[in-house]
């Protein structure tokens, strides 16, 4: 069979490249990417896989009108707070003051206007170029968020079989790119429920295949006994997760409080801190480097956003050998639950719960539903509670979350996941 993968963030998504490599062992595979992503795709193109450029975006007043109308009037997920939080995060990434002001004005209008344009209605209005070579492809596999709306419009209009992998646990609660003419595959049953409830995807068009990035857990388990221990001292591990500069400073402030509390409660432990890979400016973490009990885990950065597979396995080794893992809302907090290391949410250090705030980042829909609500005892609300946790890290109550999460997922190898993704 000939499979077409429509990709984005190809350098950052190591697991996607591994899945495509596995699919290419059994099928003829072509990757479709936008011109601006050509270089990064070709840099990481798996052996034996072909590449075709997406050439569907068409200018003109009609498309310009519908793009603007969709931004203003699009239907949003039932998780309204999460959607607007992510839109606020994206709007705040602008560095030009005029652009930032415009972004916030548009977002203010979106909050007030009716949500009447569905993604399908929008796709039906887009005029595309029909210049992408789609010949010979039996099945298209896309990833959320959809890489190119114009290509998606053509695919569904021409009735090509389109399968969309809901790439992350937070995509059902924040994106708006779900079409009734595609089928969807998810990490587990609870995320499938999110897709059905939040995005009104028909249950008949949503299924479960597992999480591609958790295939690294399968690989880690196979080699765990042979991996050397990175740190020869006892420690707790913090995984940073924030990309917005203003909030990174708040995150660093909280991590600093964690280090100070650890120094008082458990001076025998170090604090190992992993910077957020997508954060472009790691100088923001400089205040942590001078703390006497902090060790920065920052040796995994490469030319682009890709991370070597060996570094991913090292990440699991570092989590597994830590006395505890702490975070403010990262997939690593979920991944930690597949080890015996207790995973905790740092839920303090904010003064506001509105707008672009640390509270909003911590209490995103996926964090509340899939972690905090499962084990409230692992939600750290103060430095006083944190000190008590540090003194009782061996308590079984803090590992209840691990069992609950493990029972919700089936860990698969990359080969098993790839086979199931194509077969479903």
Sheet holding 139-143, edge to edge: 50-53, 28-33, 2-6, 139-143, 162-165, 183-186, 206-208
Topology (CATH) of 218-406: Rossmann fold (3.40.50)
Compute the C-alpha angle 402/408/409, nearest 5°: 95
CA 377 vs CA 261, 381, 388, 402: distances in Å: 18, 10, 12, 13
pLDDT band at 286 (very low <50, low <70, confident <90, very high): very high
Q: Nearest-CA neighbor of 412 among 261, 150, 210, 168?
A: 210
Superfamily of domain 2-57+126-211+412-423: Glycogen Phosphorylase B; (3.40.50.2000)
Helical spans, DSSP H, in 79-141: 80-91, 97-112, 119-125
Compute the C-alpha angle 377/408/418, nearest 5°: 135
pLDDT for position 301: 58
DSSP3 helix / strand / coil % (the chain, rounded to 5): 45, 15, 40
Judge whether residue 392 has pLDDT over 60: yes
Please check whether residue 311 is in contact with residue 17, taking contact to mean a CB–CB distance below 8 angstroms: no
User: Average pLDDT in the 170-191 region?
Assistant: 97
pLDDT digit string (tens) for 329-370?
A: 999 999 999 999 999 999 999 988 888 899 999 999 999 999
Compute the C-alpha angle 349/353/359, nearest 5°: 45
Quote the CA–CA distance of 370 and 366 in Å, as a whole number. Answer: 6
pLDDT digit string (tens) for 122-156?
A: 999 999 999 999 999 999 999 999 999 999 999 99
pLDDT digit string (tens) for 223-279?
A: 999 999 999 999 999 999 998 888 999 999 999 999 999 999 999 999 999 999 888
pLDDT for position 243: 85
* Residue found by looking up tokens 């964690």 in the block: 258
pTM equals 0.94
Sheet holding 235-239, edge to edge: 294-296, 270-274, 235-239, 325-327, 343-346, 379-380
Judge whether residue 303 has pLDDT over 70: no
pLDDT band at 306 (very low <50, low <70, confident <90, very high): low
List where CATH 3.40.50.2000 sits in the chain.
2-57+126-211+412-423, 218-406
Higher-scoring residue by pLDDT: 105, 11: 105
* Average pLDDT along the chain: 95
Quote the CA–CA distance of 224 and 102 in Å, as a whole number. Answer: 50
pLDDT for position 307: 72
Judge whether residue 304 has pLDDT over 60: no
User: Average pLDDT in the 400-413 region?
Assistant: 97
């Amino acid at each position: 069979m000939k499979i077409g993968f429509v990709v984005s963030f190809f350098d950052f998504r190591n697991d996607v490249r591994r899945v495509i490599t596995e699919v290419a062992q059994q099928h003829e595979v072509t990757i479709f990417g936008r011109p601006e992503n050509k270089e990064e795709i070709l840099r990481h193109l798996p052996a034996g896989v072909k590449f075709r450029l997406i050439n569907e975006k068409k200018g003109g007043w009609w498309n310009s009108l519908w793009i603007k109308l969709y931004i203003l009037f699009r239907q949003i997920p039932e998780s309204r707070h999460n959607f607007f939080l992510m839109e606020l995060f994206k709007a705040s990434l602008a560095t030009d003051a005029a652009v930032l002001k415009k972004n916030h004005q548009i977002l203010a209008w979106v909050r007030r206007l009716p949500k009447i344009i569905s993604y399908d209605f929008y796709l039906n209005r887009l005029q595309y170029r029909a210049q992408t070579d789609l010949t010979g492809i039996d099945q298209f596999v896309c990833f959320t968020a959809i890489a190119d709306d114009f290509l998606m419009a053509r695919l569904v209009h021409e009735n090509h079989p389109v399968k969309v992998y809901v790439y992350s646990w937070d995509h059902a609660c924040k994106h708006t790119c779900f079409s009734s003419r595609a089928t969807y595959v998810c990490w587990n049953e609870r995320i499938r429920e999110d897709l059905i409830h939040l995005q009104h995807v028909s249950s008949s068009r949503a299924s479960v295949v597992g999480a591609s990035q958790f295939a690294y857990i399968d690989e880690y388990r196979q080699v765990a006994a042979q991996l050397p221990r990175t740190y020869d001292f006892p420690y707790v591990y913090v995984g940073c997760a924030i990309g917005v500069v203003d909030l990174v400073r708040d995150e660093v402030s909280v991590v600093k409080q964690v280090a100070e509390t650890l120094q008082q409660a458990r001076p025998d432990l170090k604090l190992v801190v992993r910077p957020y890979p997508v954060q472009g400016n790691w100088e923001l973490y400089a205040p942590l480097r001078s703390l006497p009990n902090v060790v920065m885990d920052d040796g995994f950065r490469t030319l682009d956003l890709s991370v070597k597979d060996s570094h991913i396995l090292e990440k699991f080794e570092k989590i597994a050998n830590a006395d505890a893992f702490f975070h403010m809302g990262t997939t690593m907090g979920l991944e930690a639950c597949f080890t015996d290391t207790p995973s905790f949410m740092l839920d303090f250090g904010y003064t506001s719960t509105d707008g672009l705030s640390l509270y909003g980042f911590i209490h995103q829909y996926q964090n509340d539903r899939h972690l905090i609500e499962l084990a409230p005892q692992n939600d750290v609300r103060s430095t006083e509670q944190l000190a008590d946790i540090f003194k009782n890290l061996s308590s079984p109550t803090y590992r209840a979350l691990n069992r609950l999460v493990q029972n919700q997922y089936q860990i698969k190898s990359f080969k098993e996941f790839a086979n199931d993704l194509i077969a479903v």
